[in-house]
Structure 1
């Protein structure tokens, strides 16, 4: 029987990408998708919420209603996990990342707000909802700076690399 991707057979390679190549692949994934699943923990247990996101380097950004369950959970415990993945067609196309970090809630005037806000493309939402482009949202901006990332891409096996790669933020 013909095999479409024979390099997927057998044990997975264990070689690691160098940091620059891994970062390039992670940033490509972050740039090519716009939905993630945000995992938080609260008094009722875990909560996994689909969220539209933006990114600035290895920081994932999203807006949210201040009184939403995810925001209540973040206020109680800012440790979060963010899952981002590309559409799956088959094993060869499997590509995604799990980001782990602390969610920081920012409002206009807060530290880092002006640095992160330009990456949020709120204008399309306003147009879709017939809202004025002269009045940007005033709600919270949540920034999750990745402390570590588990990146998975089965296509890497083709070149002899492990399909699961690990990234950690370099201490400043």
Structure 2
């Protein structure tokens, strides 16, 4: 269907959609929304999920499958695989896809069945939704080791902050409980 069609179906202009998204805590300018709709700007997976959730549609309904073929080619190239090697790799997972069919997928000659999307995502170790959105940076479809290290560091910092906060909170609860029992606070 596509984002533009869904927006129009809801009777919203770009400015109205931007305002409604902002009210939901999703800040996106009308200009950015227009660029998303025209495919001039790529949307993060998280942003795509937020907008899909706002409209109560799936990512496939929001995006369609227009980027799948290009993303499959990017994934294959990132892993340095020929079509033949990819066919062999898929076969090792019990997925039989001929070289000719893979070529047709990548060249937009035939659509990739939804069941295959899940299989490809599993083989490449990515989320199925990542095959649906436009990727302008080849290095971002499959995170590099450096990206993974950075993500791990950020997650670790968030976890430490959470633990510190939880500990302070737990101490306050414990203090309140002790005071109530002793009735001295």
**Bigger Cα Rg:** 2
State TM-score, norm by structure 2: 0.21
Greater RCO (Cα-Cα under 8 Å, separation 6 or more):
1
Structure holding more strand per residue:
1
Normalising by structure 1, report the TM-score.
0.22
The structure with the largest helix share of the pair is 2
